[in-house]
């Protein structure tokens, strides 16, 4: 047992909507916490069946064709978890994963207003059942910290909003809840340093960001070393149907819009105590 590790014995639960969200939104925190000795568990709510696909190799897997994308994304998610776990190689920390309700129990709802919202297994219809399932996980794991998205889900996706809702419903009054957010100043600063690769476009500034200086709750910055950012980038690369990550400083979704992979993540402390101080250290 590595008793000198700052986060030894600390338990962190992350609630995410789809495979790849764990890496994009919180990959830095996951890797850093595991390296410092924390037990990190990622809970994914759907298989991401409605995702778009980059390139031709897996294009026939989409929901309007073979409808096999969700199963393939389990494979990508397992690879991402393995990549994030590398941070804990020399520590007592760990990164583990499960699906809320079991793999495939709830389905990706798709973007707001799409016909896929009407699927009987769509996650947006599962508030009561999913809340109870999450309560059971919280009771079993007794996490010190619970992390998900803010009230808008980060960018308005119905499943992200539902993840926020069930965490709000299921969490105990004594739980610490943190929301992963994209800080506008940090995003814009690193956005200005990017040059879009050929065939890509630059993201507009302020895309899906918030001005954390106006938050009514405390905001905590988690700096990422080059090593930790590299682990995060490698985890993102495992979701190859969804992401292109040519360097450790930029990425794009299927829209080929260049976004910065910033050297810090930001979390709003919505309830309870701040995240461990060791996570805020450089």
With 0-12 / 13-18 / 19 or more C-beta atoms within 10 angstroms meaning exposed / middle / buried, residue 128 is exposed
Query: What are 70-85's pLDDT values in tens digits?
Result: 999 999 999 999 999 9
Averaged pLDDT, 95-115: 99
Whether 106 has a pLDDT exceeding 60, the answer reads yes
- Cβ atoms 256, 138 nearer than 8 A: no
pLDDT of the residue at 4? 86
Whether 278 has a pLDDT exceeding 80, the answer reads yes
Task: Please give the share of the chain, as a percent, with pLDDT higher than 70.
Answer: 98
Angle subtended at Cα 226 by Cα 29 and Cα 75, rounded to the nearest 5 degrees: 55
The answer as to CATH 3.40.50.1370 being correct for domain 11-271 is no
Query: What are 127-136's pLDDT values in tens digits?
Result: 999 999 999 9
pLDDT band, very low/low/confident/very high, at 207 (cuts 50, 70, 90): confident
Whether 241 has a pLDDT exceeding 70, the answer reads yes
Which of 175, 94, 93 lies closest to 134, judged by CA?
A: 175
pLDDT band, very low/low/confident/very high, at 3 (cuts 50, 70, 90): low
Pairing mode, if any, of strands 39-44 and 11-16?
A: parallel
> For residue 178, what is the DSSP state?
E
Averaged pLDDT, 189-198: 95
Token duo for residue 226 = 């080059």
Helix 21-35, helix 69-85: angle, nearest 10: 20
Q: Where are the domains of the chain?
A: 11-271
Q: How far apart are CA 137 and CA 14, in angstroms?
A: 11
Q: What is the mean pLDDT of the chain?
A: 97
Q: How many Cα atoms sit within 13 Å of 89 on the Cβ side?
A: 7
Give the residues across from 179 on adjacent strands: 148, 268
Whether 277 has a pLDDT exceeding 70, the answer reads yes
């Amino acid at each position: 047992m590595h008793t000198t590790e700052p986060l030894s014995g600390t338990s962190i639960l992350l609630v995410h909507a789809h495979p790849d969200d764990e890496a994009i939104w919180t990959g830095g925190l996951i890797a850093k916490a595991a390296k410092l000795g924390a037990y990190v568990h990622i809970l994914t709510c759907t298989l991401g069946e409605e995702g778009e696909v980059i390139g031709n190799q897996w294009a026939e897997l989409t929901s309007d064709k073979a409808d096999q994308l969700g199963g393939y994304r389990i494979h990508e998610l397992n690879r991402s978890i393995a990549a994030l776990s590398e941070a804990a190689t020399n520590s007592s920390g760990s990164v583990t994963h499960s699906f809320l309700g079991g793999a495939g129990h709830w389905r990706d709802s798709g973007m707001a207003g799409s016909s896929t919202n009407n699927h009987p297994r769509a996650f947006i219809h599962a508030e009561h059942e999913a809340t109870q399932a999450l309560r059971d996980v919280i009771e079993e794991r007794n996490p010190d910290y619970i992390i998900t998205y803010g009230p808008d889900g980060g960018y308005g996706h119905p499943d992200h909003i539902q993840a926020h809702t069930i965490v709000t419903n299921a969490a105990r009054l004594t739980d610490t809840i943190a929301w992963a957010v994209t800080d506008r100043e940090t995003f814009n600063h690193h956005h200005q340093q990017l040059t879009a690769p050929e065939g890509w476009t630059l993201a507009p500034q302020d895309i899906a960001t918030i001005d954390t200086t106006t938050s009514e709750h405390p905001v905590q910055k988690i700096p990422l070393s080059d090593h930790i950012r590299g682990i995060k980038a490698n985890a993102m690369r495992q979701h190859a149907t969804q992401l292109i990550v040519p360097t450790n400083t930029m990425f794009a979704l299927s829209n080929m819009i260049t976004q910065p992979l910033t050297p810090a993540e930001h979390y709003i402390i919505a309830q309870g105590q701040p995240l461990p101080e060791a996570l805020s250290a450089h």
